[in-house]
Chains A and B, each alone.
Chain A
Amino acid sequence: MPDFFINGQPVTAAKGQTVMQAAKAAGFFIPTFCWHPSLSVSGNCRICVVEVEGEGGGGSWMEIACNMPVTEGMRVLTDSDAVRARRRETLQFILLNHPVDCGICDKAGECTLQDYHYEMNGLPSVSTVPKVHATKYFELSSRIVLDNERCIVCSRCVRFTREISKSHALGIQNRGDASLVRPVESRDFESDPYSDNVIDICPVGALLSKQFLHKARVWYLKATPSVCPGCSRGCTVDLWHRKAEWKLNALDPRENTAIARVTPRENPEVNGPWICNKGRDLAKIFERPRAEQAMQKGKPVPLGDAIADARRLIRESKRPAALVSSWGSNEELTAFKAALGDRVECIVKSDWQPQPGERLEDDLLIRADKNPNTRAAQNLFGSEARLVPADSDLVLVWGEGASFADLPRGAKVILLGSYLAPENGHADVFIPVSIQTERAGHYTNFAGVVSRFEPIVRKKDGAAHAEQLFAQLTARTEALA
């Protein structure tokens, strides 16, 4: 465990650490473009150069921190005049051919280059020669657009496809200042389910999400912690939507509450800094047309009537069964158990199955179980695969994925659902319920890690929160909120 000094302060480093790693762990700031804690060291951007004081009166020397092993007693300066001067020079080089696109670049506001320029350089370019031009809008895939002029060739994206997603789908063609990030010509990047992570790790606005392109300035948006329901990994994510003070009156009000983008929420226990593309597309799941109207056999009824009718059906049933949603939160599942667990034959349902073309499972993040809370559901209701007993006279179906054709003929059906679907009209009673973006709660992932999600929007007026609903379905009194 070497002890060394940063800016005069003693720091203890773990064995084998670089100055960069030890400095970050101890809370010191060293700028980086190409270095990333989850990727191999490339050492090409040169912005992380620090000064090391010579021993015994010898001169000091400058070297990149990301590749410098910590040695006992070394004295590192991260903010000396020499270091600052070197950073200014490095930024001059990086900005030499960099287009001043900030006004139209999505990365503005969260751009490392922008931030460093303001903090460390802030001077106009000293160049008098024209900038080198390159491709401005290159379709890296159907999801990601690349601007080669903005690219600083840090190679993070390339290393990501080599080391993390292992798709080997990106490379750098040519050499010198003609270097261009390019996808492999066999188009493997299109089928890399982790492709969009390169957007996050790109330190500039070279790699941008097509679905987010020019949608909003990042400072109009706020990030709300959530959990991806795409599989049992339960990656923690940030859901971004417009802040209240930035809402647009002229637009369709749904724009003000819609999910603008989804990014990973760093989580050492679960997903590290990554998520898969399915998580990026959560709007496709959460913003499907919603069921907002309670019904009885397809006839619209007030919510209260539907709940009362459901309560009656449950009370009158002799052999009730329930298909429990593996998308229910820990809180909802607990409430279900408390209200109905003794009364009803509860079977855990896999709401979602793997889709054709979807990766089943790998050793990075993606799990075969495409539901977020199977573990909590199974903890409460058992894990053997069972069919709804053929003699059930009532089936309470909670959540998606049940085929009415598989339910016992003659059984009454109470359906609790969130999205518009043909089955909604076939159920004896249909009650719309809220989704995870409309309430707070927790999921338990496959390994038992519990993660929290928070709401970004109020629930629909015509829908109920399932957590409160379950008690109402077995309440003795007729009094309802």
Chain B
Amino acid sequence: MSGRKLLMSFPVTPTSHLLAEVRARGGYQTLQRVLTSMTPEQVTKEVTAAGILGHGGAAFPVGRKWSVIHLNDSQPHYLCANADEGEPGTFKDRWILENSPHQLVESMLIAAYALQVRNAFVYIRGEFDLPYRRLQGAVDEAYEAGLLGEKILGTDFSCDLVVYRGAGSYVCGEASALITSIEGKKGYPRNRPPRLTVRGLYQRPTVINNVETLSNIEIIVRMGAEEFRKVGVAKSPGTQLVSISGHVAKPGVYELEYGTPLAKFIYEDCGGVLGGKKLKCIIPGGISTKVLTDADIATVTYDHKAMEAVGSQVGSGGMVVIAEGTCMVRLLQVMLRFYHHESCGQCTPCREGMGWLHRIIDGIVAGRGRPEDIDAMVRISEANDGTTICGMGDAAGFATVGIIAKYRDEFEYYIANGRSKCGGRLEVDVAEQEAAHA
């Protein structure tokens, strides 16, 4: 396997998520130590020194986000774990929610202590059923055991945790939309300023971190920043949970130490392309990230700087493997249909642009494409770059521009001939797939 494991460090069984077994593995000892022998400032200092970057997609330094919170400013602070996980191809937070929910709970308590948070929330997408039941079960266990609520573990620290279920909206994975949803309203993102760490949930200072990011907090405090930094590489310490799917032999969630060669991961750990087919490309970290071909993968290591150097990103850790013979026009159509469906509708470029992109590509796929459609899609994408309230408009633009840049010939073919160069295929090996599921 690829590197050290920090999160997926225990054998998963039907009961390994329960509190008794978690405690047997050492769970909540770190919390005990934090509450009895560390100050909030010391916790934040450790997290900052560890250099951990956010695992939700933006890779923002966590310590820097936390440091905006003024301690002792006599107003409520809030902490929210982002468990909305709506990015297509991304299902790695789900692993934590289902199999290691106490890791998240304990970490959130440590973070709440550091940030002087009395009320914490986990925003979990509404569709997640088992992950919700596991997480709520863990929260209930924690309350029962005095690990949540008033005077935790007999100390002066009290904290309540509410698991807040969403109701079907991808944009609620965006931090400001997430908290507007927790306020009981539509998931409309907000303009910045103000930053959410200044005015967030009900206009109070709020920290929102990804589930995986938060789950690392207990690990950092337990190991200490110095030891933590020995895992991974200098600019990307620690590990990344990677969810891999698509035309891959062994889809699933894996933990990768940063710095792992990507080719090794895909071809060895994940068994390479389904049915032994040739790789066309991979989408490395969420569908808006630039696709990588074998040439890129051959030399790149899985960490932030290296991925950026080949023009892409670690992103959300959601990898999609695409085999040769897949029609990239149809694939982009699926993506644009998704963005169109999920646009909240607030701001002009995204509200109009997503529908526009979708209708253009529908026209191409239906055989009615025009030569100018390709440049039109690029123009619409560029007009969404940095012009919108949230990053969704940009994301659709990046996906469009990226796929067109690498596979322009497929678009030109489709438009000229009224049909796909690849037979319109999204599936590539039905027999192999059925066998894989048997």
Mask of A25-58 contacts with B, CB within 8 angstroms, 1/0? 0000000000000000111111101000000000
- Of A175-183, A262-270, A362-370, A376-384, the stretch lying at the interface with chain B is A175-183
Whether, in the assembled complex, A83 has its beta carbon less than 8 Å from a beta carbon of chain B, the answer is: no
Q: What residue of chain A has the Cβ atom nearest to residue B372's Cβ? A: A128
Q: How far is the CB of B325 from chain A (nearest CB, A)?
A: 29
Given A93-B383, A129-B356, CB of A175 within 8 Å of CB of B191: no
Q: What residue of chain B has the Cβ atom nearest to residue A95's Cβ? A: B352
Whether, in the assembled complex, B387 has its beta carbon less than 8 Å from a beta carbon of chain A, the answer is: yes
Whether, in the assembled complex, B346 has its beta carbon less than 8 Å from a beta carbon of chain A, the answer is: yes
Q: Which residues of B contact A49 (CB under 8 A)?
A: 387
Q: What residue of chain A has the Cβ atom nearest to residue B357's Cβ? A: A129
Q: Which residues of B contact A67 (CB under 8 A)?
A: 191, 193
A176 near B191 with CB under 8 A, answer no
B389 near A94 with CB under 8 A, answer no
Whether, in the assembled complex, B285 has its beta carbon less than 8 Å from a beta carbon of chain A, the answer is: no
B193 near A93 with CB under 8 A, answer no
Whether, in the assembled complex, B426 has its beta carbon less than 8 Å from a beta carbon of chain A, the answer is: no
Given A67-B191, A129-B356, CB of A177 within 8 Å of CB of B349: no
User: How many B residues touch the partner, as a band?
Assistant: 20 to 34
Whether, in the assembled complex, A164 has its beta carbon less than 8 Å from a beta carbon of chain B, the answer is: no
Whether, in the assembled complex, B355 has its beta carbon less than 8 Å from a beta carbon of chain A, the answer is: yes
Given A89-B383, A129-B363, CB of A46 within 8 Å of CB of B372: no
Mask of B350-376 contacts with A, CB within 8 angstroms, 1/0? 011111100110010000001011001
Q: Which residues of B contact A14 (CB under 8 A)?
A: none
Please report the C-alpha to C-alpha distance between residue A67 and residue B195 in the assembled complex, in whole angstroms: 12
Whether, in the assembled complex, B151 has its beta carbon less than 8 Å from a beta carbon of chain A, the answer is: no
B345 near A153 with CB under 8 A, answer yes
Q: How far is the CB of A101 from chain B (nearest CB, A)?
A: 17
Q: Which residues of A contact B379 (CB under 8 A)?
A: 126
Whether, in the assembled complex, A165 has its beta carbon less than 8 Å from a beta carbon of chain B, the answer is: no
Whether, in the assembled complex, B210 has its beta carbon less than 8 Å from a beta carbon of chain A, the answer is: no
Q: Which residues of B contact A43 (CB under 8 A)?
A: 191, 347, 389
Q: What residue of chain A has the Cβ atom nearest to residue B345's Cβ? A: A179
- Of B9-17, B94-102, B336-344, the stretch lying at the interface with chain A is B336-344
Q: What residue of chain B has the Cβ atom nearest to residue A64's Cβ? A: B191
| Cβ 8 A contact of A94, one of B344, B348, B373, B388 | B348
Whether, in the assembled complex, A174 has its beta carbon less than 8 Å from a beta carbon of chain B, the answer is: yes
Mask of A301-334 contacts with B, CB within 8 angstroms, 1/0? 0000000000000000000000000000000000
Please report the C-alpha to C-alpha distance between residue A41 and residue B373 in the assembled complex, in whole angstroms: 35
Q: What residue of chain A has the Cβ atom nearest to residue B351's Cβ? A: A177
- Which residues of A78-124 are within 8 A (CB) of B? 86, 89-90, 92-94, 96-97
A177 near B355 with CB under 8 A, answer yes
* Residue in A89, A93, A127, A172 whose Cβ sees the most chain B Cβ within 10 Å: A93
Q: Which residues of A contact B186 (CB under 8 A)?
A: 172, 175
Whether, in the assembled complex, A338 has its beta carbon less than 8 Å from a beta carbon of chain B, the answer is: no
| Cβ 8 A contact of A175, one of B345, B360, B386 | B345
Q: Which residues of A contact B373 (CB under 8 A)?
A: 128
Q: Which residues of A contact B376 (CB under 8 A)?
A: 126-128
A46 near B345 with CB under 8 A, answer no
B352 near A97 with CB under 8 A, answer yes
Please report the C-alpha to C-alpha distance between residue A156 and residue B343 in the assembled complex, in whole angstroms: 20
B344 near A176 with CB under 8 A, answer yes
| Cβ 8 A contact of A69, one of B193, B348, B352, B354 | B193
* Residue in B169, B345, B359 whose Cβ sees the most chain A Cβ within 10 Å: B345
B356 near A44 with CB under 8 A, answer no
Given A44-B347, A46-B347, A129-B363, CB of A176 within 8 Å of CB of B354: yes
Please report the C-alpha to C-alpha distance between residue A126 and residue B354 in the assembled complex, in whole angstroms: 15
Whether, in the assembled complex, A62 has its beta carbon less than 8 Å from a beta carbon of chain B, the answer is: yes
Please report the C-alpha to C-alpha distance between residue A127 and residue B354 in the assembled complex, in whole angstroms: 13
Whether, in the assembled complex, A152 has its beta carbon less than 8 Å from a beta carbon of chain B, the answer is: yes
A176 near B355 with CB under 8 A, answer yes
Given A64-B191, A92-B383, CB of A45 within 8 Å of CB of B340: no
Q: 30 interchain pairs (CB within 8 A)?
A: A43-B347, A44-B347, A45-B347, A46-B387, A62-B386, A67-B191, A86-B387, A89-B383, A89-B387, A90-B348, A90-B349, A93-B348, A93-B352, A93-B356, A96-B356, A97-B352, A126-B376, A127-B376, A128-B360, A128-B370, A128-B372, A153-B345, A172-B186, A175-B342, A175-B343, A176-B340, A176-B351, A177-B345, A177-B351, A179-B345
Residues of A within 8 A of B (CB): 41-47, 49, 62, 64, 67, 69, 86, 89-90, 92-94, 96-97, 126-130, 132, 152-153, 155, 172, 174-179
- Report, nearest first, the 3 A-B pairs whose CB atoms are least far apart: A179-B345, A176-B343, A129-B359
